[in-house]
Chain A
Amino acid sequence: MDLLTNLDIGFQAALSLHNLTFCFIGVLVGTAIGMLPGLGPLATIAMLLPLTYALEPVSGLIMIAGIYYGAQYGGSTTAILVNLPGESSSVVSCLDGHQMARKGRAGAALAIAALGSFFAGTVATLLIAAFSPVLAEVAFLFGPVEYFAMMVLGLTAATLLAHGSFIKGVAMVLTGLILGLVGADVNSGTYRFTFGSFSLTEGIEFVAVAMGLFAFTDIVSNIRSNQSREVTSPSLRNLMMSAKEFRQAVFPVIRGTAIGSLLGLLPGGGAMISSFASYAVEKRVSKHPEEFGQGAIAGLAGPEAANNAGAQTSFIPMLTLGIPSNGVMALMIGALMVHNIAPGPFVMVSNPEIFWGLIASMWIGNAMLVVLNLPLIPLWVRLIQVNYWVLFPIILVVCCVGLFSINNNVVPIYFAAGFTVLGCLFWRMRAEAAPLLLGFILGPLMEEHFRRSLLLSRGDLSIFWHSPLSVAMLSIAAAMCLVILLPQIRKGRKVAFEEEA
């Protein structure tokens, strides 16, 4: 079997003491920096990339892969512990992960995130090794029409994130879409809703929105009610997950891995949507959907696995076609080019030790992450048992410095302040912030693909039901709406009848 020989080449390249050391350093540094708010995997790699140039190609790539997974896990850690989504994919980890932490299950939440990610990473690595060339083609099935349908589906799923009313979820998605449109329009170059301010031409900073709506709003609502934050006192038994929790996590992790592996193949937001999609699926199949948002294990395990699997399979279009599906992949291409390797269909043939070495290093990076982080969990858990009056000023200050560091500019800090007030209003109105955030990310993409589709069809709306893929996705979205709406309408009627009686 070719696969085994190939993996053998890869592991021989990657498994030297030298390379393992670099992998370790990468994971360590990645985790540490990823935990700081505002610095996601992209910023971390961009910052540390030059360090790897001096290394030989395989070591350099292994270190980058380590930083990548480390930073991502670091991001989930802050999301779970202090409800602070540093990047789009950890928004979902906040929802149930943070609730688990509040219920004294922070250790279990972190362990599930680590092990779920590791499992997903292992499967995705095998997929990449075995099917890269075939899977790469998936990206080409998606044109503007299909992307638009996928966005509609993703956003419909996002309204499921809310455990309040459906209509508020939709309204929040729309609000997010609108906020996401601020800035330069792709098609015409017009600046929209910038009110003459040039700093808005690149749009509102995502991190500022996420911090304001999640972390800061959380602080405001918790600051006076210390009892709600009280964390169950730690005992060693509490730190690790129980057998029951493990069992509850197994199927969500498997489903999440499947969703993430598939969506990760799509350039332009696939990997990002996968965690949201997984959450929606878990909530739908769960026997206890009411637990979601209250610390449901499936609500953390699925998305974490999906997120990691998606992050990993997004390597496929990059490695086999030279197409970067996100910023990190673009940096990876840059790193390959430094070593005179042009990504494309022939890397596998021309530089097998690098191609397979990189694939092996993905798995090693994931394994290293688990080895490194499981023992550290007790330490992180103790972090949130610190008195809240100590914790919240730390969150505030570190977030603000992080916001400044994005562009060396204070404008994002002002926006975070504004979104804090808005977040509090939403909290009062019982409107969930998560759908807004997804709308915010997808807004510009959705508009782009919508307009492009109609430009291609010359205004003929039927283009959306000429593509089978698009029809399938739009039908699922419509079905999802019906499933949610019908019981609500029925319930509404019942209430109305009762009142009449």
Chain B
Amino acid sequence: MKGLHRALALATTLITISAASIAAAAAQDYPTGPIKLIIPYAPGGGTDAAAAVFSDKLGQILGQPIIKENHPGSNAVIGTALLAEAAPDGQTLMVVTGAIANNPYLYANLPFDTEELVPVSILTTYPYVLAVRSDLPFNNMQELIDYAKANPGVLTAGTPGRGAGAQLVLRLLNERAGIDIRDIPFKGAGESLNAVAGGFVDVVFSGYETVRPFVESGKMKFFAQSGTVPLGEEQIPPIADTLPGFEYQNWLALIAPPGTPENITDKLNEGLTAIFSEQEVKDRLASQNIQGIASTAEEAKAYLSREMSTSRSIIGTLGLQPE
């Protein structure tokens, strides 16, 4: 018994050391404890990278650590459902991508109502970069389309799964260009990028920052992106140069459970506005070719419903049905 008591006492002391500092941050009304930030994707994707830009700073401003939790699966449906179940006290938040606007039109029987979620702020918008493995014999969009037409069904694309923006933009490209690049679903953007870098899959649509290391190490090349103007230092041309009118923007938003009161979203918004006006943050986002936006909750809500109708029309053109 004596040994046991000592062991327990020791364990307790050890934990005291670490936890004392967490407890030191005195709790005001909100937040009352560490904030859980749900990332509805597997670790290593673009959402992680973008969330890292603001989450720690926001935590410092609010005086509570923000703890990221990855809950991947079903194109963010699993993460969103966890959010929808959480108490509307601002202690659980989620970073979503444009996928959330697609899901109502792709998934039958969602366990939540997308319109009831409370968008806090739009965070960023960015186009998808089309990256291809570096040993493929084409170097611009026109050549890629010609190649794909000459060899139908040969090219493959890694996508992060059903309903993800990167999958829709691929479908959109296939449809507009009249080609057939086959869709190979992966668990998250990170895995699909690795597969392209390893030469197992041919092309991938992903955020600039996630593609950059592979281009730097010579595993991939990029020559097109889904925005409307040339992107970044490299001046990557838009696909619209080859296929006029082609555009697909992905975006990230901070979102709270249904019924979250305004004073909480206001407090979060204040913090975000302060962060996004910092020069350092601006520079960091600019280096990732991401446009940072801190919006009000109303603007975010309007943005979400606008995006939902865009998604509906894109998904309609592609002829996809909810399953």
Direct contact of A and B (CB under 8 A): yes
Other-chain contact of A51, B4, B22, B161 (Cβ < 8 Å): B22
Residues of B within 8 A of A401 (CB): none
- A448-B187 in contact (CB<8A): yes
Which stretch from B168-176, B193-201, B257-265 is at the chain A interface?
A: B193-201
In contact, B185 and A198 (Cβ under 8 angstroms): no
Task: Report which of B18, B191, B198 forms a contact with A29, defined as CB distance below 8 A.
Answer: B18
CA distance A28 to B184 in the complex (A): 45
Q: How far is the CA of A202 from the CA of B38 in the complex (A)?
A: 14
Taking the closest CB of chain A, its distance from the CB of B215, in whole angstroms, is: 10
Q: How distant is A65 from chain B, measured CB to nearest CB, in Å?
A: 16
Write the A324-346 contact mask toward B (1 if CB under 8 angstroms, else 0): 10110111011001101011111
Residues from chain B with a CB closer than 8 A to the CB of A167 are none
* Neighbour of B4 across the interface among A144, A184, A334, A390, CB < 8 A: A390
Contact segment of A150-158, A378-386, A422-430: A378-386
Q: Is B319 an interface residue (CB 8 A)?
A: no
A28 touches B17 (CB 8 A): yes
The answer to whether A32 and B74 touch across the interface, beta carbons within 8 angstroms, is no
Decide: B73 and A324 in contact? CB cutoff 8 A: no
> How many angstroms between the C-alpha atoms of A333 and B52 in the bound complex?
10
A191 vs B75: C-alpha distance when bound (angstroms): 12
Decide: B200 and A198 in contact? CB cutoff 8 A: no
Cβ–Cβ contact B194 & A344, under 8 A: no
- For A32, A340, A345, A382, which residue has the most chain B Cβ atoms within 10 angstroms? A32
Contact partner of B15 among A29, A143, A321, A382, CB < 8 A? Answer: A29
A379–B107 CB distance below 8 A:
no
Query: Cβ of B198: which chain A residues have Cβ within 8 Å of it?
Result: 139-143
| Other-chain residue from B10, B34, B161 in contact with A187 (beta carbon distance below 8 A) | B161
Please, which residues of chain B bring their CB within 8 A of the CB of A122? none
Let me know if A47 is at the binding interface, CB within 8 A: yes
| Bound: A29/B20 CA distance, A | 12
A46 at the interface (CB under 8 A from B): yes
| Mask: chain B, 1-28; 1 = CB below 8 Å from A; 0 = not | 1011011001100110110011000000
Q: Is A170 an interface residue (CB 8 A)?
A: no
B212 interface hit (Cβ, 8 Å): yes
A346–B216 Cα distance when bound, in Å, is: 9
**Contact A32/B81 with A144-B195, A330-B44, A456-B201 known, Cβ cut-off 8 Å:** no
Whether A201 lies near B74 (C-beta < 8 A) is yes
Residues of A within 8 A of B75 (CB): 189
In A435-452, the 8 Å CB interface with B consists of 448, 452
Say yes or no: A379-B7 contact (C-beta < 8 A), given A25-B18, A140-B194.
Answer: yes
A452 to chain B, nearest CB (A): 6
A267 to B190, CA, bound (A): 10
Q: Of A322, A338, A455, which is in contact with the most chain B CB atoms at under 10 Å from its CB? A: A322
User: Are the CB atoms of A202 and B68 closer together than 8 Å?
Assistant: no
**From A53, which residue of chain B is reached at the shortest CB distance?**
B56
- On whether the beta carbons of B162 and A188 are closer than 8 Å, the reply is yes
B56 and A338 within 8 A (CB): yes
Residues of A within 8 A of B320 (CB): none
Interface membership of A35, Cβ < 8 A: yes
Minimum Cβ distance to chain B for residue A25 (Å):
7
B11 touching A48, Cβ below 8 Å: no
Give Cα distance in the complex from A141 to B199, angstroms: 9
**Pairwise interchain contact A379-B10, C-beta atoms closer than 8 A:** yes
Interface residues of A in 196-214 (CB under 8 A from B): 198, 201-202
B127 at the interface (CB under 8 A from A): no
Q: Assuming the A-B contacts A46-B69, A202-B73, A379-B10, are A345 and B216 also in contact, with contact meaning beta carbons closer than 8 angstroms in the complex?
A: yes
- Taking CB atoms and an 8 Å cut-off, the chain B residues in 98-142 that contact chain A are 107, 111
Of B14, B48, B65, the most chain A CB neighbours within 10 A belong to B14
* B71 interface residue (CB < 8 Å to A): yes
B194 near A323: Cβ-Cβ < 8 Å: yes
- Contact call B4/A25, Cβ cutoff below 8 A: no
Q: Counting CB contacts under 8 A, is A31 at the interface?
A: yes
Count of chain B residues with a beta carbon within 8 Å of a chain A beta carbon = 65
Instruction: Name the residue of chain B whose CB is nearest to the CB of A453.
Output: B200
* A324 vs B15: C-alpha distance when bound (angstroms): 28
Residue of B nearest to A318 (CB): B44
Chain B residues closer than 8 Å to A321, beta-carbon distance: 197, 213-214, 217
Check A383 against B4 for contact (C-beta < 8 Å): yes
- Chain B residues with Cβ below 8 Å from A455 are 182, 184
CB distance from B313 to the nearest CB of A (A): 22
Interface string of A27-53 (1 = CB under 8 A from B): 011011101100000000011111101
Q: Cα distance A380–B3 when bound, in Å? A: 8
Question: What residues on B are CB-neighbors of A337 within 8 Å?
Answer: 49, 52-53
Q: Which of A190, A322, A338 contacts B213 (CB 8 A)?
A: A322
Which chain A residues lie closer than 8 Å to B271 at the CB level?
Answer: none
Q: Find A198's partner among B7, B17, B111 (CB 8 Å cutoff).
A: B111
Contacts A25-B18, A46-B69, A344-B213; is A386 near B4 (CB within 8 Å)? yes
Binary interface encoding of chain B residues 195-211 relative to chain A, with 1 for a CB under 8 A from any of its CBs, else 0: 10111110000000100
Residue A365 CB within 8 A of the other chain? no
In chain A between 112 and 146, which residues have their CB closer than 8 angstroms to a CB of chain B? Answer: 139-145
Q: Which of B1, B77, B191, B323 contacts A390 (CB 8 A)?
A: B1
A455 to B192, CA, bound (A): 14
Could you say which of A333, A334, A379 has the most chain B C-beta atoms within 10 Å of its C-beta? A334
Residue in A32, A140, A338 whose CB lies within 8 Å of B199 = A140
A186 at the interface (CB under 8 A from B): yes
**A331 to B43 Cα, complex, angstroms:** 8
Query: A268: CB under 8 A from chain B?
Result: yes
Contacts of A383 in B (CB 8 A): 3-4, 7
B147 surroundings in chain A (CB, below 8 A) = none
* B70 interface residue (CB < 8 Å to A): yes
Q: Are B44 and A382 in contact (CB under 8 A)?
A: no
Name A48's contact: one of B18, B193, B216 (CB within 8 Å): B18
Contact A29:B4 (CB < 8 A) given known A334-B48, A345-B213 = no
Q: Does A180 contact B (CB under 8 A)?
A: no
| Interface pair B194/A379, CB less than 8 Å apart | no
**New A-B contacts (8) at CB < 8 Å, excluding given A188-B162, A382-B7, A386-B4:** A140-B197, A143-B198, A184-B78, A188-B323, A330-B44, A338-B56, A342-B212, A383-B4
For this complex, 25 residue pairs linking A to B, each with C-beta atoms less than 8 Å apart, are A32-B11, A35-B11, A51-B18, A140-B199, A143-B195, A143-B199, A184-B78, A187-B161, A187-B185, A189-B77, A189-B323, A201-B77, A267-B191, A321-B217, A323-B194, A324-B43, A330-B44, A333-B43, A337-B53, A340-B284, A346-B216, A379-B10, A382-B4, A382-B6, A387-B1
Leading 9 A-B pairs by shortest Cβ distance: A330-B43, A382-B3, A50-B65, A143-B200, A344-B213, A32-B14, A140-B198, A29-B18, A337-B52
- Measured CB to CB, the residues of B under 8 A from A are 1, 3-4, 6-7, 10-11, 14-15, 17-18, 21-22, 34, 43-44, 48-49, 52-53, 56, 59, 65-71, 73-75, 77-78, 81, 107, 111, 156, 161-163, 182, 184-187, 190-191, 193-195, 197-201, 209, 212-214, 216-217, 219, 284, 323
